[in-house]
Each structure stands twice: as C-alpha cells, then as structure tokens.
Structure 1
C-alpha cells in the first residue's frame, strides 16, 4: 500500500507550530504563497499561545 503525503497546508501549519514552540520569530516563515504562509502563521500563533500557557518542546 502506498503511503500518502499529507496535504501541503497541513504540513505548513505543523512546521509553523514547531517553529513557534521553540521560540522562533514569525519572520522565519519560509513560505511565499499566501495560503501556505497563512497556515504557517496560524500554527505559529497557536504555538505562541501554548508557550505562554507553559508548554514547551521538551
């Protein structure tokens, strides 16, 4: 059975969350496309609020 790749926008959100949880700046966003960039920033914002609540990458 072939393994399907995850949707690109889901991956963008996940990568944004990973960047946000370790404390990277939102200017770090590697995406140029508007939709992927907005999903990355959404993940980053989610991680930023999680960090404020005490969550960390460890």
Structure 2
C-alpha cells in the first residue's frame, strides 16, 4: 500500500516546531506562501516556548506525535 503524503500545513507546522525547539531564528522560515508561513511560525512559536521552558528533545518528539 502506498503511503500518502502528509498535509503540507501540518508539515510546515512540524518543521517550524523543530526549528523553534532547536533554537533557530524565525528568519529561517522557508515558505513564501502565506498559509504555510503562518503554520510554520505557529510551530516555531510553540517550539521556542517549549525550548525556553526547558523541554528536552525526547519530550518534544513525544509531544509532536500527539499533535
């Protein structure tokens, strides 16, 4: 059975979260399309908040699995 691709907005959010949790700058957003950019920024904000709250990478991965 073929795997379906994930929704692009979900992927943008997840990648933004990964960038935020790893401490990267928001200027690194790779998207030009407004909706994808907003999703990436939402994920980045949540990732940065988790980073500042001291959540480690393993906990962040578990959190992403439930999102």
Q: TM-score range by the shorter chain?
A: over 0.9
Report how many residues are paired: 58
**1:12 equivalent in structure 2:** 12
Report the TM-score when normalising by structure 1.
0.93
Report the TM-score when normalising by structure 2.
0.81
Separation (CA, whole Å) in 2 of partners of 1:19 and 1:53: 15
Give structure 2 stretches of 5+ with no counterpart: 59-67
Query: Aligned Cα RMSD in Å?
Result: 1.0
**2:30 equivalent in structure 1:** 30
Q: State the 4+ residue runs in structure 1 displaced beyond 2 angstroms.
A: none
